[in-house]
Structure 1
Amino acid sequence: MKTRTALFVIGLAAAASLSAPPSARAQCRLCEKPSTMPAAEGAEGPIDLQIEAGLDFDRLVVVGPGDGTATLRPDGTRQASGSVEAISGRAMVGQASVRGEPGRLIRVELPERIELYSLDGARISIDQIVTDLSSAPRLDSSGNLSFRFGGRIRLSGNTDGDFRGDVPITVEYL
C-alpha cells in the first residue's frame, strides 16, 4: 500500500508549508518504446500530496481572560465565541492536492487534535480539523483531487503570542 505523508506548520501570524516536491522522472531516449507515463512503483503507482496553502488563523481579537474558540471551516466561514470576538479577514483555510492513479479511491487522515506552541512555551490547541472531502474520496480521471480543510482553535486564560505547530496529513490508496 503506497502512502504519502506531509507535515505543515499552522500558526496565528503566518503559516509555512513543508512538502516534498514531486519527484522528477525521465526516460532514456535510446529505449525501444519511449513512454511519457511515470514508471509504476510495484503493483501500485506513486501518490503525491502537496500543501497548496497552510491553515492560518492570522490574528484573533480576544476581549478578556476567559475561554474562547475560533472556527474556520473549509468553505471559509468563520465563527468566534467566548473570549474570542473576531477572526482576522486574512485568515485562510488550508488547501491540499493529491495526485496519483486516475480513478483510485484514497484515504486522507488528519489528526483529531494538535498542539500549537509559542516561543515562550505557551500552548493552545486545535481540537477539530475538518475537510470538504466526501466520505469516499476518489482521484478524478486525470489522477487529481484537491481539498480544503479548516478547524477550531481553543484558547484558555490570557493567551497571547505567535503560535505554531505541525499537522501530519497522510494519504493512501484503498
Structure 2
Amino acid sequence: MIGMLHGRVESVDMSSALIEVGGVGYEIRMPSADLASMHAGQEVKVYTSLNVSQDAITLFGFLTPASKRMFLQLQKVSGIGPKVALSLLSTLPPDRLAHAVADGDATALAKAPGLGKKGAQKIILELKGSIDLSQIETAASVISRPEDTGSEQVVEGLISLGWRQQDALHAVQEVWQGATTSQHP
C-alpha cells in the first residue's frame, strides 16, 4: 500500500497530477480544489489511497489527512466507490461535506456528479454520527488559515461575538481570498 508521497509536481491536469518521487512519476487522481492549488515544480506531500479494481490500479491523493479519511469513510457506504467519493470531495471540502452529513443535507451532497438524491440520503443514513467533526474542522482550519495576516485574532474575535468556529473561519478565509485576488489581479 502506498500511504503517502513526498515529491515534486511534474504536471497537473483536470483530474490528476503527475508527481515525481525518487525518479518515478506517480499519476494521482485528486479533488479539484487540491489540483487547483498545485503547480509544476512545487514540492508537495500527498496522502494516498491505492485502489485496485478489475480493470485498473488507481492512486487517489489528498493534500490533507482529513480529506483522505473522508474519502475512505465515504467508501464504507455500500454503492459508493472511489470515483463518487472523489466527486464528492471535489464538490465539497471535507469540513462542509462532514457538516452536510451531520445536518442531513442531502441536497448539498446530491450536487456531486455521479450521486443522486437516493445516494446522498444513503450516505447520510450510514455515516451520520460516525464522522468526527472536530477533527475535520481542526485540520481544515490549520491547512487553510493564511499565515501572518492577523486572521487568527479575527476568528477569535468572531467566536467571542457568538459565531461558530467553522463559520468564523470560513468568513475570514473568504475575505482574505478576496483581498489577495484584488491585490494580485
Instruction: Bin the TM-score by the shorter chain.
Output: under 0.3
Q: Which has the higher strand share?
A: 1
Q: Which has the larger radius of gyration?
A: 1
Q: Which has the higher helix share?
A: 2
- For normalisation by structure 2, the TM-score amounts to 0.22
- For normalisation by structure 1, the TM-score amounts to 0.23
